Structure 1
Amino acid sequence: MIKVATVAEAFDRDLEDDFIRVEKLVEAARADGVRLLALPEACLGGYLADLNGQAELPPALRLDGPEIARLTDIAGEMVVCAGYCEDAGDGTRYNSVVCVGEGRVLGNHRKVHQPLREDASYSSGDSFAAFDTPVGRLGLMICYDKAFPESARSLALDGAEIIVCVSAWPGSRTNAPDDLADDRWTRRFDLFDRARALENQVVWISANQAGHFGSLRFVCSAKIVDPGGDVLATTGCAPGMAVATVDVAGALTDARRYMGHLRDRRPAAYATA
């Protein structure tokens, strides 16, 4: 059994303030016995202020640079996933999420699928790969990646037991309701989370930005979903931390005992892309 947590919180361009928020969240999670914590997309430096290709860019950070080292120090023995703008070293920027723990970088993912004009600000990643961590085999995704079933399926086929999807998922930009709970993009965010968990029979951990940044209003709705597609804990449409205790191996075994969605695949019947 492990305790896992995920966050809906506001982050912005002030990197020092972002680290102060991260440290407080990690301290609160640690005090609650959390072993795995998911923080939102772009929590180090903030997301784009708009999706029209004209936004001020967040600070670009090297994977081997002092900021990720600082995050690693803050995490300590906890496994922490956090979104940031990655400087690849040649001037190329990626919208990335890093996983750190036990004093080292455990994994890193560059966002593959880019909505609207996000490609004006970031280059696109080109792969999905699971990796081993102290809390189990993990896969990483970012936001719009989860709208494509192939993303989560490729991680599950690579042995991911837990998939962490960090997001800066905004609400509707047209005909937006006052209450985020009534927003069609909140509904889609929640549907994707539950569907990806169920169809791959994995533990799904979804983090998201909160509040407003530039022209965007984020839907929050951080959550933990079990391999049957049931929500174990959620922040709802408000900032906060959702926490759940999960028997990862047991949950996967129970979900896959009779209806094994990975086992029962028929790849020869599927048209290739």
Structure 2
Amino acid sequence: MYESNLGGAIVAYIIGFLGVQNVFLIGLSTAISKVFKFEKGLSATFKNSVVLINSGNFGLPVSQLVFQDNSLGLSIQIVVMIFQNLLTYTYGIFNSVTAQSKGFQALKIFFKNPVIYALLLGVFFRATSIKIPEFIWTPIENTSNAFLAFALITLGAQSAYIKFHQLSTPLVLTLIGTLVVAPSIAFVSIFILGLEGTVAQALFIASSFPTSRNSSLLTLEYGNHPEYAAQAVLLTTIFSMLTVTTVIYLSNILF
């Protein structure tokens, strides 16, 4: 957040699209959870697996490949990634916490998470143009660079114990919701907002990415079906080879 450069009318369109897209996904995943009567922990993990996407270590390389001669496309993906980070450490965490606790206890656990305060500090320092001293910034940056490695190692440790006897109902619904329904909702949202060109292409492609590894890490932290969460990350990533390719092809035809 501290290093980001956001501004301009185009950002307003992107945020508008992301707002519409995620409201639909949150509403849809909540409705599905109630229809299939998922218990609270499973419901929280299911909703996170559909709403939270891998816009960082998956989304950025894809955008760099697709928009290698178009800086606007990559810039849009960076905005999407920042939005997803905010969504993960607000909606995602609160969703996970309230599955195990209620009322004041849930709020207490939620506000114990240091990422909330890191985000607020990043926004504050950015808005006030306060320069962080080099001796403080260097270790922060080094720690940040190590996060991806630790996250993937953790996910790998979870995946090592995955046993696929059959595709469970929640897992099938996650695959459909993340890889099919989400891009479909994105197409409708783009049409409603009247977006076109590179902006429409970039947002349509960004909507097709697999489940975020962060959703799996949250289940480990709060004990909400971690094996199912790891399965969701693994399978959506595998099947996204087909769906993301299809969406990229369609984006060139439709927009």
Same fold per superposition (TM over 0.5): no
Structure with the largest fraction of helix? 2
TM norm structure 2: 0.29
Query: Which entry has the higher C-alpha Rg, 1 or 2?
Result: 2
Structure with larger RCO (C-alpha < 8 A, sep 6+): 2
TM norm structure 1: 0.28
